[in-house]
Amino acid sequence: MNDAEILVVGANGQLGTALQEKYPGAKPVDSAELDITDRQAVESFDWSNIKIILNAAAYTNVDGAESVDGRVASWLVNTTGISNLARVSSEHDITLVHISSEYVFDGNKDNHSEDEPFSPLSVYGSTKAAGDIAASLAPKHYICRATWLIGEGKNFVRTMIGLAQKGVSPAVVNDQVGRLTFTNELVRIIDYLLQTKATYGTYNSTNDGEPASWADVARLIFTDGGFDSQVTDISTEKYFADKPDAAKRPLNSVLDLSKLHQTGFKSNDWREDLNTYVKKELSK
Ligand SMILES: NC(=O)c1ccc[n+]([C@@H]2O[C@H](COP(=O)([O-])OP(=O)(O)OC[C@H]3O[C@@H](n4cnc5c(N)ncnc54)[C@H](OP(=O)(O)O)[C@@H]3O)[C@@H](O)[C@H]2O)c1
């Protein structure tokens, strides 16, 4: 695999930044350089030397997607944009790596496998599900399904550290359960699938480790960071009671990692990666 044949799309987001670090010889493009919603721009892009598209571009504002403008933007980027990338991938014999989300499910199952039928609760989840369908039409595709992504950017861990540094003890939902996915781990999975030429298809792609609620994750952040802040448990229903415009979220975000592990990939525990991440944040 030659880095120079890789295009990182949406290169300045959380995942895009980690992909750029992993593949310094790859070509990174942000939305100004390649707007994936612009069919003509995508089709006229110079694909001659590209063998792999790593697509980190997405509309990720879950609550924003419920608004009138957000609904349009979410469908444009997460679905129309992916169909544009899938089309050029087919036409130019390119491998398309795309990132999905557990928001394509309603969270009613205990452990989501890759072949669970879609059941999104929100606009964001619906557009991601439709994007998965579009990506799957590229003959050579990997759809890596992640949850609770943490990397370089605005994320839950940074929010909790920020609150603790201000001496705030927050109320955090205790009935949404899942695992963090660190961008470094997601990049390791993507690289492993590509390097080992794993069978094309969808792979649940999170860190491993005992799942926990957001409230428990927050407690761990405060412990790892040596903060005095305390977490008050609150149900999702109560937390969102005064936020009528918020998107509905799946309560169970735990993805079954059996298929990934059958490829031989050895996962990192999210608690260990969290400890490293918190220490690194505090040493900045
Ligand atoms: N965040 C999570 O908790 C989470 C959980 C599960 C799955 N995921 C999935 O993981 C992937 C990466 O998420 P992330 O957190 O790294 O996202 P992010 O930080 O929000 O970054 C998204 C990137 O997409 C780019 N983008 C938006 N519209 C674009 C367009 N029309 N054309 C080209 N680029 C465009 C943005 O670039 P500009 O700023 O230049 O517009 C931004 O750099 C996404 O597919 C997301 O759905 C995320």
Each residue's pLDDT tens digit, 45-102: 999 999 999 999 999 999 999 999 999 999 999 999 999 999 999 999 999 999 999 9
Q: Which of 19, 21, 31, 102 to mutate to test the pocket of ligand 1 (most atoms within 8 A of CB)?
A: 31
Q: Is the CB of 206 under 6 A from ligand 1?
A: no
Cα 3 to Cα 45, 49, 70, 156: the distances in Å are: 18, 11, 34, 31
CATH number of 3-154+180-208+255-268, picked from 3.30.2320.50, 3.40.50.300, 3.40.50.720, 3.40.50.1980: 3.40.50.720
Which ligand 1 atom is nearest residue 61's CA? Answer: 20
The pTM of the full predicted model, rounded to 2 decimals, is 0.98
Which of 55-59, 102-106, 107-111, 133-137 is predicted with the least confidence, judged by mean pLDDT?
107-111
Q: Which of 55, 134, 46, 131 is nearest to 90 (CA)?
A: 134
Assign 3-state DSSP to the chain and report helix, strand, coil percentages, each to 5: 40, 15, 40
- Residue-level pLDDT at 1: 84
Look at residue 194 and tell me whether its pLDDT is greater than 90: yes
